[in-house]
């Protein structure tokens, strides 16, 4: 597998008041798309651009503002995929859906922007910011979410190219990496706009390029979240999600246990409200998003009453690989897990694992069921296939690094209106973000590559004139009531295997 790929080259209880850190919404104009008696909206481009004439010529059209009807609060279930996004992507991209996907993509991007991946930093492998200042430090102070806990995973697994470790003596843990966060909408205006209280899980992906895919062995193993042993997932993803390290404070509970216990706690706390569970991630983080969504549904964590009512579980995935076999895909569909995958057709990561036998192979079900073929993989959910060569802003080169970049995906999504339709930016989203961590914008835009950096790499000058890296507050690894909520998951949802998977 590796050679083939080389060739392809706690936090406190939920807040009772509005948080300090509250992505703002630029429009509340309604959307007619969901009305069965009204036609789909016509997208109109109006002049909101400050581009030079040369740039406008390259763009082909100026940025657009869209007129639409139904408020998001009335149609949020459709946006979350209750009807598998039927009619919302083709023939025309629904503006509400586009805006929501980009919003969740930016919340996934926050995992990259906040992660310390500098091997010369004594804090390498951690989050740079305290949860209470997270969105403010990232210049997205109006996200509306409050982070309720950070997620960690042990680096002692068979994905060495994914984890970041310091070249210096370990300060916080030699075994752990920060993997993302769980958050919940607490701002009243945002709750009103969304039409529900949203529980968000954001997984960190690969900070640099895709070296980690060389570690994938194409080995499928039973997920063990179900009694059905024919449901299988890629072993590296499973290990990252379930393994723990007793000698490490942060990894004494697996990433799986951290997620399930926190979601259980939040569902208990907001049990009398309309709730959604949304999971997002890019690259390997997208694989974790699909895996954790399946897990939440498989252990019936989202079943909130005796009548079987389910809290919707939705994944907005970016540049994600395949996670499991065809049985895994079919089980996700049975459980009602909704997955919308955003990919760049020139990106190699969504093609693995399962290069030979996958959902595009007409005899996949036969060879998986009858022949027990061990390298059979299938993507879950619906796909939005983007093409960076259609954007007039970016280089048309086949740069595999940039083709995989999350900000590039968000830029392409902003200009996408349906297959065969002209690329036209739907918002004022800054094209400079494309070059935040890559070199993909055309040179005439004058945006330097890899421009986002911490000022002075975080060094500050003290009163004595010396430059030092300030100490960061040591966070509580896990909330004291975590074991209690884990036990509730076991008791109430009859998990077929103890959560202490190793």
Q: What is the dihedral of CA 219, 221, 225, 229, to 10 degrees?
A: 140
Angle at 62 between CA 59 and CA 67, to 5 degrees: 135
Q: How far apart are CA 256 and CA 188, in angstroms?
A: 30
**172 DSSP β-pair partners:** none
Q: CA–CA distance from 294 to each of 287, 299, 312 (Å)?
A: 11, 9, 12
Give the single-character DSSP code of 401.
Answer: H
Q: Is 35 a catalytic residue?
A: no
Residue of 113, 295, 347, 439 marked active site:
347
CB 351 within 8 A of CB 327: no
Nearby residues of 31 by Cβ (< 8 Å), 6 or more positions away: 41, 68, 69, 70, 71, 72, 75, 94, 95, 96
Residue of 404, 417, 478, 485 marked active site:
404
Q: Is 283 a catalytic residue?
A: yes
Nearby residues of 378 by Cβ (< 8 Å), 6 or more positions away: 322, 324, 325, 326, 328, 329, 354, 358, 359, 364
Identify which of 116, 84, 180, 109 has the alpha carbon closest to the alpha carbon of residue 411.
109
The three-state secondary structure class of 45 is coil
Q: Is 430 a catalytic residue?
A: no
CB 429 within 8 A of CB 411: yes
Identify which of 256, 288, 239 has the alpha carbon closest to the alpha carbon of residue 111.
288
Residues with a known catalytic role: 283, 347, 404
């Amino acid at each position: 597998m590796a050679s083939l790929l080389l060739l392809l080259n706690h936090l406190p209880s939920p807040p009772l008041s509005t948080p300090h850190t509250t992505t703002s919404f630029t429009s509340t104009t309604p959307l007619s798309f969901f009305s069965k008696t009204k036609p789909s909206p016509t997208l109109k481009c109006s002049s909101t651009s400050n581009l030079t004439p040369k740039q406008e010529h390259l763009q082909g059209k100026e940025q657009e503002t869209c007129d639409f009807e139904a408020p998001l609060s009335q149609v949020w279930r459709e946006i979350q995929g209750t009807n598998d996004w039927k009619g919302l992507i083709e023939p025309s991209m629904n503006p509400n859906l586009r805006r929501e996907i980009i919003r969740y993509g930016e919340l996934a991007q926050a995992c990259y922007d906040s992660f310390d991946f500098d091997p010369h930093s004594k804090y390498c492998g951690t989050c740079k910011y305290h949860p209470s200042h997270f969105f403010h430090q990232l210049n997205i102070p109006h996200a509306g979410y409050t982070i309720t806990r950070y997620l960690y995973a042990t680096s002692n697994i068979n994905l060495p190219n994914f984890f970041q470790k310091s070249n210096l003596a370990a300060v916080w843990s030699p075994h752990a990496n920060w993997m993302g966060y769980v958050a919940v909408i607490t701002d009243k205006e945002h709750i009103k706009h969304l039409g529900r209280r949203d529980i968000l899980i954001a997984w960190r992906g690969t900070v640099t390029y895709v070296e980690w895919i060389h570690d994938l062995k194409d080995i499928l193993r039973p997920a063990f979240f179900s009694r059905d042993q024919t449901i299988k997932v890629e072993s590296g993803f499973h290990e990252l999600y379930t393994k723990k390290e007793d000698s490490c404070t942060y990894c004494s509970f697996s990433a799986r246990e951290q997620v399930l216990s926190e979601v259980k706690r939040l569902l208990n706390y907001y049990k009398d409200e309309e709730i959604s569970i949304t999971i997002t991630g890019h690259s390997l983080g997208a694989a974790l998003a699909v895996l954790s969504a399946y897990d939440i549904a498989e252990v019936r964590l989202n079943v909130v009453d005796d009548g079987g009512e389910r809290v919707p579980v939705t994944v907005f995935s970016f540049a994600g690989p395949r996670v499991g076999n065809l049985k895994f895909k079919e089980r996700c569909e049975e459980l009602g897990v909704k997955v919308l995958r955003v990919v760049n057709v020139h990106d190699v990561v969504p093609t693995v694992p399962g290069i030979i036998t996958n959902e595009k192979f007409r005899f996949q079900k036969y060879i998986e069921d009858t022949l027990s073929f061990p390298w059979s993989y299938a993507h879950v959910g619906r796909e939005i296939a983007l093409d960076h060569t259609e954007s007039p802003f970016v280089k048309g080169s086949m740069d595999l690094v940039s083709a995989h970049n999350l900000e590039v995906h968000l830029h392409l999504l902003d200009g996408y209106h349906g297959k065969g339709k002209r690329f036209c930016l739907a918002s004022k989203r800054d094209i400079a973000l494309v070059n935040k961590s890559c070199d993909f914008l055309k040179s005439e835009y004058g945006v330097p590559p890899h421009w986002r950096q911490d000022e002075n790499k975080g060094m500050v000058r003290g009163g004595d004139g010396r430059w030092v890296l300030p100490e960061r507050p040591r966070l509580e690894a896990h909330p004291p009531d975590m074991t209690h909520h884990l036990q509730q998951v076991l008791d109430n949802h009859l998990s077929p295997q103890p959560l202490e998977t190793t």
